[in-house]
Amino acid sequence: MGASSLESGSSRQAPLGAVYTALFVQVLINAGTYLAGKRAMEELPPLTVVLWRFLLSAAVFCLLLLFTPGPKLPPRSEWRRVLMLGLLAGPINQVLFFFGLSRSTASHAALLYALTPLGVYLLSLARGHERPSSRATLGILTALVGVVVLLLGRGLASASGSLLGDLLILAAVSAWVVYTTEGKPFAATHGPVRSTAWSMVTAALLLVPVMPFALDPARTFSVSRPALGSIVYLALLTSVVAYLIWYYALSKVPASRVAIFSNLQPAATALAAWLLLGESLHWALVLGGGLVIVGVRLTQGAPVGPVSPGASLDEEAPVAGRG
């Protein structure tokens, strides 16, 4: 635990600018996740994509744990929480997300995931992790309006996503909200590397029972290079780099401030489509993106702190002190 305390303690001294820069990188990675997921599922079933994603990412995290100073396994007192986080990250969040994405559209998925900050903020309030803030609420709602403007401008009204797919994605969003809220104190205690590694390896282990039925190596290795590249993208960038950044940020700032960055993903997706697919930029990107940025800035400047004096100092007090 000494190494763990050193890691989490040193993290509090890092400037918040570095945290927000890392979150912008995470936003860009996640914007590509929609494209990579859709591309991989053109040739493989959703469950096969999920299994390979977690199998590869778990192998990388095992190597990271091997070379990271400190405990390799979570303390016995944390096994229940690790199991819960792994269940939320893998079998619940990602399985529901990919099955939903295969039946809906990327636009619908982006809009539903834009509900994450609101869900995290409300859950944090309910659990006493943050105190009510009109500025934070205004920021979250402003960013959400920006997302709606952006997606409507890209043709959300005429999108043909099915109701079933949208409901599956909404369930995945709910799991991600709980994962983010519960993961914050865990990351603050054990550091982002171990927290992410333990939850992602647990997620892979929980998926082992279905691997004989859906892993399908022969079919997987016969797909095209773009499809294989998409799986590698999902495994290494989305599941390793983006998850590490997410836990890194959660170990330093309140969960609602981290979650608000998910509202930037639709704008980042639009920019990626412009750069990679040649789609034109339009007024909705400027207006919607501007509202999202304003919402993010409002939320980042909102006062935060635990409701009760007995709340964990590791969770909020260092951040509130930086104001």
Question: What pLDDT does 281 receive?
Answer: 60
Question: What pLDDT does 161 receive?
Answer: 53
Domains identified in the chain, total number: 1
Predicted confidence band of residue 209 (pLDDT cuts 50, 70, 90): very high
Torsion of CA 237, 264, 111, 303, to 10 degrees: 120
Q: Mean pLDDT in the chain?
A: 77
Domain extent at residue 312: 2-322
Highest mean pLDDT among 10-19, 58-67, 107-116: 58-67
SS3 assignment, position 306? coil
- Angle separating helix axes 163-190 and 95-103, nearest 10 degrees: 150
Predicted confidence band of residue 277 (pLDDT cuts 50, 70, 90): low
| Sequence-distant (≥ 6) Cβ neighbours of residue 45 within 8 angstroms | 214
The mean-pLDDT minimum among 69-83, 84-98, 151-165, 189-203 falls in 151-165
3-state secondary structure 173-215: HHHHHHHHHHHHHHHHHHCHHHHHHHHHHHHHHHCHHHHHHHC
| Cα 159 to chain centroid, rounded | 24
The average pLDDT across 7-12 equals 42
The pTM score is 0.72
pLDDT in tens, 27-64: 888 878 877 888 899 999 999 999 999 999 999 999 99
Question: What pLDDT does 140 receive?
Answer: 77
**Segments in the chain forming alpha helices (H):** 2-11, 16-40, 46-67, 79-87, 95-103, 106-113, 116-126, 134-153, 163-190, 192-206, 211-214, 217-220, 225-232, 243-250, 255-259, 265-277, 283-300, 317-322
Query: With pLDDT > 90 as the criterion, what percentage of the chain qualifies?
Result: 28
